[in-house]
């Protein structure tokens, strides 16, 4: 092991997730695979070819910077869509290379038009509409200027999409807001159609909405977390379970993150473990030190909270997560030795622990922890 930990990507789990998601959304809905944040920490270099093997040919990233990175791994027949940030200089590269991108205001459209004209290209745009998310998106007052500009510059634009983003479809508490957004979105789209702006794709859904609100799928969905085998929230899983009988295992975790035991220590009742006094042993115990800390992507917020698997048994993190180590309680693990495998994310088949580490905790933490897995952890695709 060159590094202190490594990541395995399961081909079989990913294939199963894509098959499941295709069944959910149906044949007429295109799946754009969201691979921002280095494919949610899974690694674009590994995930993109795998996705292409499974019939995915559309990839979404946040920035032009990320688009440049994935351009190295993507095949000529796949498309890239930028959902977020592009600097003025990057816009030239984006348009020259036929990268699709969101336009969310008049300025953005005019800049794109100017550059497309200069390079004699058609900018491939997705018009992002404001429907109530109030982050980015074209305001209804701007629609007429947008429409006029598009008609005046027909040679320099291809309207690939009309889209929006929901303000939290993963929680039923946001249901009314999401429903209103959907109404606005449909109404706005009609206005564009009436004015002869016909987009090839209409899209609004990320994983949550795509899974639980069929009417939000239109003909494209942007799937991030679900393709990696994580439910966006427990609520989304419960809703799928009630309506369709899906279980946790309907989505399979693609990632495993592993390290090994570097030290073992006996701790006596009432002794403190690690820095400071955040953990005091309530009884005699055995702890193991694992060479992964917040510098390696193991969030400090998992201090005294996270879990790992050793020999298939859950071992909780005791004390604080340091820059390069965690300490875990292995009192109940028989015969643990130096060098034994420690699973930080993933499962251990024989003992049927299907969910390890932190996945039962806040799902927001899942997104965050995955996205923060450093680039330099070696990643391997396994069967």
Please report how close the Cβ of residue 226 comes to ligand PLP at its closest, in angstroms: 6
Nearer to ligand PLP, 167 or 264 (CB): 167
Shortest approach of ligand PLP to residue 92 CB, angstroms? Answer: 23
Closest distance to ligand PLP from the beta carbon of 45 (Å): 19
Closest to ligand PLP by CB, 102 or 294: 102
Closer to ligand PLP by Cβ: residue 223 or 255: 223
Task: Report the nearest approach of ligand PLP to the CB of residue 241 (Å).
Answer: 18
Query: Quick one: 224 or 297, whose CB is closer to ligand PLP?
Result: 224
Both tokens assigned to 232? 């966006």
Q: Any idea what DSSP says for residue 155?
A: G
Q: Which residues here bind ligand PLP, judged by CB under 6 A?
A: 34, 36, 83, 165, 206-208, 222-226, 232
Residue that the structure tokens 């639980």 belong to: 212
Among 331, 297, 188, 168, residue whose Cα is nearest residue 235 = 168
Q: Please, what is the minimum distance in Å from the beta carbon of residue 379 to ligand PLP?
A: 19
CB of 160 to ligand PLP, least distance (A): 15
Output 226 or 273, the one with its CB closest to ligand PLP: 226
Question: Which one, 21 or 281, has the nearer CB to ligand PLP?
Answer: 21
In the chain, beta strands by DSSP E: 6-10, 30-34, 58-61, 79-82, 100-103, 123-128, 157-163, 201-205, 220-223, 255-260, 263-267, 285-290, 307-310, 313-316, 326-329, 341-345, 379-382
Cα separation values, 244 from 207, 240, 241, Å: 16, 5, 5
- Residue number with CB closer to ligand PLP (222 or 314): 222
Going by C-alpha positions, the residue among 45, 17, 39, 33 that lies closest to residue 379 is 45
Question: Among residues 249, 206, 204, which one has the least CA distance to residue 230?
Answer: 249
Per DSSP bridges, beta strands 79-82 and 379-382 are: unpaired
Can you give the C-alpha Rg of the chain in angstroms?
Answer: 23
Provide the β-strand partners of residue 326: 290
User: DSSP H helical segments within 158-274, as ranges?
Assistant: 175-194, 207-212, 234-244
Work out how close the CB of 99 gets to ligand PLP at its nearest, in angstroms, rounded to a whole number: 16
By beta-carbon proximity to ligand PLP, the closer residue of 163 and 308 is 163
- Residue 203 Cβ, how far from ligand PLP at the closest point, in Å? 8
CA-to-CA distance for 171 and 236, rounded, in angstroms? 7
Spatial distance between the Cα atoms of 381 and 43, rounded to a whole number of angstroms: 10
Query: Which residue's C-beta sits nearest to ligand PLP?
Result: 224
């Amino acid at each position: 092991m060159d590094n202190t930990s490594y990541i395995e990507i399961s081909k079989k789990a990913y294939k199963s997730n894509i098959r499941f998601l295709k069944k959910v959304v149906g044949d007429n809905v295109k799946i754009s695979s969201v691979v921002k944040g280095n494919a949610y920490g899974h690694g674009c270099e590994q995930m993109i070819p795998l996705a292409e093997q499974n019939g995915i040919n559309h990839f979404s990233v946040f920035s032009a910077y990320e688009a440049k990175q994935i351009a190295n791994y993507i095949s000529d027949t796949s498309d890239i869509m930028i959902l977020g940030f592009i600097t003025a200089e990057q816009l030239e590269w984006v348009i020259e290379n036929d990268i699709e991108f969101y336009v969310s205001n008049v300025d953005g459209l005019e800049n794109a038009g100017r550059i497309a004209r200069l390079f004699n290209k058609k900018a491939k745009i997705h018009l992002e509409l404001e429907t109530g998310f109030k982050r980015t998106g074209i305001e209804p007052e701007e629609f007429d200027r947008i429409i006029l500009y598009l008609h005046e510059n027909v040679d320099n634009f291809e309207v690939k999409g009309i889209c929006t983003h929901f303000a939290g479809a993963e929680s039923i508490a946001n249901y009314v807001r999401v429903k209103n957004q959907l109404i606005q979105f449909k109404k706005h789209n009609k206005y564009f159609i009436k004015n002869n702006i016909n987009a090839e794709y209409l899209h609004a859904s990320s994983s949550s909405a795509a899974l639980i609100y069929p009417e939000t799928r239109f003909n494209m969905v942007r799937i991030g977390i679900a393709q990696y085998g994580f439910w966006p929230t427990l609520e989304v899983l419960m809703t799928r379970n009630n309506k369709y009988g899906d279980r946790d295992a309907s989505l399979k975790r693609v990632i495993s993150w592993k390290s090994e035991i570097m030290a073992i220590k006996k701790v006596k009742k009432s002794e403190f473990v690690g820095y400071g006094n955040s953990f005091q042993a309530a009884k005699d115990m055995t702890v193991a030190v694992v060479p992964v800390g917040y510098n390696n992507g193991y969030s400090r917020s998992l201090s005294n909270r996270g879990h790992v698997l050793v020999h298939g048994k859950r071992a909780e993190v005791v004390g604080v997560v340091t820059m390069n180590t965690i300490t875990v309680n292995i009192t109940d693990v028989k015969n643990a030795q130096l060098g034994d495998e420690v699973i930080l994310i993933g499962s251990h088949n024989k003992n049927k622990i299907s969910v390890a580490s932190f996945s039962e905790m806040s799902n927001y933490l899942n997104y965050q922890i995955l996205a923060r897995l450093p680039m330099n952890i070696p990643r391997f695709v396994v069967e």
